[in-house]
Amino acid sequence: MPIFGGKESSVFETIGRHLEVVRESLVAFRELMNAYLDGDFERARAFEREVDQLESKADTLRRSIETMLYEGAFLPANRGDYVRLSELIDQVADAAESAAHTLILAKPKAPMELKGEIMELVESAIESYAILEDAVNALNSDVDRAIELAKAVEDAEEKADEVEYDVKGKVFESETVTTYAKLIWNQILTKIGDIADRAEDASDQVMLMAIKRRG
């Protein structure tokens, strides 16, 4: 079990806040996608700015975690695990920001008939992260539960992959989407899928840490 000293407790609190901010960035990204697909470009732009701000906030928290670790929280053998975990969690927000920027900069025509399918992918990606968040929180209370949840992230990521493949097929089959828009949407959908991929990467680190802790 972890040692809950002053420095360690501060790390846990900051990791918790980091998880929350990354989640908030995904919620803002979901709203951006909804607005864009509804044709409200100005509202979508506003949410892009919110995604940017939250991603920057997540970066600041990640650096704070690293600073606390290098100042002596945890045994040296464990510090690298927490640094790596915070980096991987941060990459989830990075993926959302990248998808947001591509959408707003390229401005592809919204395939209105595919809004439901596109939003299903967004929700699948966010669900992968939600399970990851639970897995990280379980690390300090129930390592067996953390392992179980880490495996569940893998399952959720596979589901997101299936949704991504399906919606890409529908985009390319569409007769109302231009070739340019198809190429851009292919990039955007890949980046949305990256949210789930990065969550899975972080779940692998949770799995490693939980197994080491279980001994």
Domain that residue 119 falls in: 6-214
Residue 163 in this model has a pLDDT that exceeds 70: yes
pLDDT (average), residues 120-130: 98
Residue 202 in this model has a pLDDT that exceeds 70: yes
- Indicate the range of 38-52, 73-87, 129-143, 195-209 predicted with least confidence: 73-87
On whether residue 85 sits in a domain, the answer given is yes
- Read off the pLDDT band of 49 (50, 70, 90): very high
**Given this model, what pLDDT does residue 1 score?**
42
On whether residue 1 sits in a domain, the answer given is no
**Given this model, what pLDDT does residue 39 score?**
95
Stated pTM of the model:
0.93
DSSP letter (8 states) at residue 108? P
**Given this model, what pLDDT does residue 215 score?**
66
CA atoms within 13 A on the CB side of 121: 27
CATH number at 200 reads: 1.20.58.220
On whether residue 12 sits in a domain, the answer given is yes
- Read off the pLDDT band of 77 (50, 70, 90): low
DSSP letter (8 states) at residue 172? H
- Read off the pLDDT band of 191 (50, 70, 90): very high
pLDDT (average), residues 163-182: 95
pLDDT (average), residues 112-116: 94
- Read off the pLDDT band of 5 (50, 70, 90): low
Distances (CA, A) of 133 to 22, 45, 92, 95: 10, 27, 11, 16
On whether residue 33 sits in a domain, the answer given is yes
**Contact, 87 vs 197, CB < 8 A?**
no
The string of pLDDT tens digits covering residues 6-37 is 677 788 899 999 999 999 999 999 999 999 99
Residue 4 in this model has a pLDDT that exceeds 50: no
Phi and psi of 210, rounded to 5°?
-65, -40
Domain count, the chain: 1
**Contact, 192 vs 122, CB < 8 A?**
yes
Length of the chain (residues): 215
Distances (CA, A) of 102 to 85, 90, 169, 192, 194: 26, 19, 20, 11, 13
78 or 195, greater pLDDT: 195
On whether residue 112 sits in a domain, the answer given is yes
State percent of the chain over pLDDT 90. Answer: 84
